[in-house]
Amino acid sequence: MLNVATQAILILVLVSTTNAWPGYKSSQQKKTNSEFCYETNGVHGDCGTKYKIRGNHPENVKLPPAFIMEFEQSVIECELNDPHCFPPFYPSATEQLQGRYPITIGKGFTYFNSTHRGGSQVEYYSKNCVPVFQSYIAHFQCTLYIINDTQTAYFTTENGPKEFGDCCILTKGFHPPRRDFIRNLNYTGIKTYGVHHQKYHSFTVKTNEGEFCFNFWDKEMTDKHSGEKYHEPAFFEYEGFQKSTKNTKGEPQDLRIFQTFHNIRTDPFNPEDYFTLPAACNPDAPRCPDYDHSAYNKHMTFMQ
């Protein structure tokens, strides 16, 4: 459960990017301890506005204690107010929206452990990275490291632009989602997906970073190793942006991102195999491109 325009990395950027990351385009950003504050309503950090949460949250809808899962990410180029490209998509974004919007498909893995180093999450994007850079089109591999005891979101890429270096920092004051992170989101009820009406629990929140929605399948599961109850992540929706190839003024292209999760495995694994930070990912690493103050001000000018 990487993501925000960061967090989102993102609002999970979620868990896949959980977990991954919620939408990153922000109408307001605050600076805290010389770092930017990305509002996630407590999902990934505690800074910014705290929004009142609505809904009678169900019991045991939470992440497994530790897991590995695969995801497919669909990046759709469409205006965020366009009702015809609003997720979820069935049976997939490609099939539902085919021929109507440009779509980029990517795949990856989420690795999560709720106790290792206070909580650890890694998001691996095998071909197309999380799209949260206004000056780039993220058609390159990337890995996001979110380790609780560092309170930092580190970013690496094997074949991305040289400006990203060996490792860069997306933001600080940032941690993996808690297993019960949905307590920080509005519960919008049980919904159904697809022609078979598969039930899922839906949670959403809108902050100054954007709006995102995380969903869990309705069936309650039991972890055979710990006996703890959990629900499997279903899909994740958030907002992003990228360099536009069409807009002559340089404004970034709005994106709607839809991640679907599958092959969730809760068998024990060695945390050091997945959560060991590269040597270049340390407090002296540079800020990632587009994540310094000057780039932020430039983006804000576009949005006004």
pLDDT digits (tens, 9 = 90+) for 134-156: 899 999 999 999 999 999 999 99
Say how many domains are in the chain.
1
Residue range 272-282, pLDDT digits in tens = 999 999 999 99
Judge whether 16 lies within some domain. Answer: no
Report pLDDT for 41.
60
Residue type (1 letter), 59: E
Quick one: pLDDT at residue 98? 86
Q: How far is CA 270 from the centre of its chain?
A: 24
- At residue 295, the pLDDT reads 45
pTM value surpassing 0.75: yes
The pLDDT > 90 percentage for the chain reads 62
Instruction: Record the tokens describing residue 85, joined without a space.
Output: 């490209």
Q: At 86, which CATH number?
A: 2.50.20.30
When computed from its CA atoms, the radius of gyration of the chain, rounded to whole angstroms, is 18
The answer to whether the beta carbons of residues 111 and 143 sit under 8 Å apart is: no
Residue 19 lies in a domain: no
In a domain, 23, yes or no: no
Of the candidates 234, 279, 282, 280, the residue with the CA atom closest to the CA atom of residue 260: 234
What's the CA gap between 51 and 61, in Å, rounded? 21
Residue 201 lies in a domain: yes
**Does residue 25 carry a pLDDT above 50?**
no
Summary mean pLDDT of the chain: 83
Look at residue 205 in the predicted model and tell me its pLDDT. Answer: 84
Per-residue tokens: 182: 């949905």
The β-bridge relationship of strands 132-133 and 229-242 is: parallel
Residue 8 lies in a domain: no
Residue 12 lies in a domain: no
Per-residue pLDDT band at 20 (split at 50, 70, 90): very low
- From CA 2, how far away is CA 99, in angstroms rounded? 29
Residue 143 domain-assigned? yes
Tens of pLDDT, residue by residue over 207-234, are 666 678 999 999 999 999 999 999 999 9
Local confidence band at 46 (pLDDT 50, 70, 90 cut-offs): confident
Distances (CA, A) of 272 to 71, 117, 123: 22, 10, 15
Query: Considering the domain boundaries, does residue 281 fall inside one?
Result: yes
Question: What range defines the domain where residue 230 resides?
Answer: 30-303
What single string gives the DSSP state of each residue in the chain?
Answer: ----TTS------------S------S--EEETTEEE---TTSS-S-SPPPPP-S-PPTT-S--SEEEEEEEEEEEE--TT-GGGPSP-SS-HHHHHTTTS-EEEEEEEEEEESSGGG-EEEEEESSS---EETT----S-EEEEEEGGGTEEEEE-SSS-GGG-S-EEEEES--PPPTTGGGGSEEEEEEEETTTTEEEEEEEEEETTEEEEEEEEEEEEE-TTT--EEEEEEEEEEEEEE--SS-TT-PPEEEEEEEEEEEEE-S---THHHHPPPTT-STTPPBPTT-SHHHHHHHHHHH-
